[in-house]
Amino acid sequence: MGLLSTRQHMGAAALLLAASTILSRLMGLVRDKIISWQFGAGGEADMYFAAFVVPDIINYLLAGGFLSITIIPLLTRLFHEDKSDGWRLFSCVFCWMGVTSTLLTLAGMVAAEPLARLVAPGFTPEQWLRLAFFMRLILPAQIFFVCGDCLTALRFMLRQFRVQALAPLINNGAIILAGLALPLLSGSETVQNLLPKAILTHLDGMTGYCIGVTLGAALGTFALPLVVVANQELRLSVVWHHALMGKFLLTALPLMLGQTVIMLDEQFLRVFGSMVGDGTVSLLNYARRIAQVPVGLVGQAAAVASFPFLVSLLAQDDYKRFNVTLHTALSNSLGLIIPCALCMLATAWPIIGVIFQGGRFGSAETLATVPLVCLMLTATPFWIFYMVLVRAYYAYGDTFTPAVTGTFMTLFCLPLYLWWAVPHGAKAIAVLSGISVACYVLWLTVIWLRRHGTDALHGLPWLVLRVSLASLPASGIAWWCTNHAMRTLPFSPIATAFVSLILGSAIFVTIFLPLAWHASPEILQPLLHRWRH
């Protein structure tokens, strides 16, 4: 436990979270590979992905995932002034979040069937019943996620990131194990003799994966951090009132009530995808999984690791170092994500072939997924920029601006999804997803420039241009070679995809590195520094 409770500096924290994210994404891809192999695109897989809409919205309503952003500034100041009072505030937030998440979860489970009709209007009545069953299995996970987010905020305030690095690995591991183990257990004679046939019929398909979601949340997101914090100095008690609770709610309410296009992007793919046709929900989700890999690898680690340091610098009124830290996080993230996204775009066909093709996911599904991945990858620089910039807003205690602008953008996009994207199919939904995110991020950037000046963003457009000019030729040549190899290599589909992926990636790197060294050497300096040391 001592290793898990060690404090880390910003650079070490970012590297630790990046390594964890890489492993988590790999496990997530393994999970999706198993799902695509077993169920392909459509039917059971569509219902599984759609089952997350209501649980995720409950999580958003309780500022899940952003809870640490709202409470870290308050706890940081309070722990410096009066540590015992800081523990009382933490206990008060924890108690209210636990009770609220439990009540919302129970309400969701009771109303699962009408909610299923609402979130997947394109499904059949039989699919709605199955979807409601899946939702009831996944909904309890939100209690563990929300309460675990409280513990995450505490650990981040203490600059302890190792437990957070382990959590997604446990979550994905539990989903995979439960998904594979339940059909084996339900197929054994002992279990068949013990359980009624009515129950056994519900244990097939993706039921195990749904159970694994809740099991992973209980173990990885809640139990592990609770044990680690409890072995230090956790002073958790039943507290229902604190003087700063009102300030906490004022900060958190915009995140709870403001449903931005960023938060709802994945839900829009599921809801409106269900209206396009069978398999669209699955294809959009598979494509989004791939497109979000560089976002998770680059942006999530930089954003999460930088936030406690940004808060600390503002608490010291050190605005110069704040701007330098924010500029460094933004420039490093953009310098990495642009070539990464363009390399993935050039090799999208073999990537889908290696990761998903096989079993019930055939070549037709692969070819249908490739353009969706390419369209979504074009928006990844905006995702990265948002993840870092929005935490700068939150460091200032401003949750209102991102929430309100995001809500307006959501309301503007809803009729476009319904009346334009759905009639034009999955590609139109992917296009609108990227455009809405880009417009939202540009809006936030303009507001930041007007309020805080250009110090933190100085030189970023020029950096983006230089990195793009170094990446585009490499991407174009790699794309042509990759697609030619996919059509002509005389190997099996998986071997052809694997060889094409290696070939395309090698060509991209060979062309990109010398161009980047001449056009924008600063993006390579951090990598060279890490390599040398």
* CA-closest candidate to residue 304, choices 223, 196, 219, 390: 390
Higher per-residue confidence, 505 vs 193: 505
Distance CA 355, CA 194 (A): 38
pLDDT in tens, 64-106: 555 666 776 677 777 777 777 778 888 888 888 889 889 999 9
Contact present, 142 and 59 (Cβ < 8 Å): yes
pLDDT at 189: 59
How many C-beta atoms surround the C-beta of residue 261 within 10 A? 27
Of 69-78, 91-100, 156-165, 267-276, the range with the lowest mean pLDDT is 156-165
Distance CA 390, CA 261 (A): 13
Statement: residue 377 has pLDDT above 90:
yes
Contact present, 264 and 436 (Cβ < 8 Å): no
Contact present, 172 and 24 (Cβ < 8 Å): yes
Angle (deg, nearest 10), helices 162-186 and 141-157 = 160
Coil, helix or strand at residue 378: coil
Average pLDDT for the chain: 82
pLDDT at 11: 47
Mean pLDDT of all residues in 312-331: 85
Give residue 215's pLDDT band: very low, low, confident or very high (50, 70, 90).
very high
Coil, helix or strand at residue 361: strand
Give residue 301's pLDDT band: very low, low, confident or very high (50, 70, 90).
low
Contact present, 35 and 45 (Cβ < 8 Å): yes
Statement: residue 289 has pLDDT above 80:
yes
Beta bridge partners of 505: none
pLDDT in tens, 38-64: 888 777 888 888 899 888 888 877 765
pLDDT at 335: 87
What tokens does 123 get?
Answer: 């499904």
pLDDT at 532: 47
* CA-closest candidate to residue 49, choices 325, 272, 294: 272
Distance CA 249, CA 236 (A): 20
pLDDT in tens, 13-22: 555 555 666 6
Q: Note if the pTM is more than 0.85.
A: no
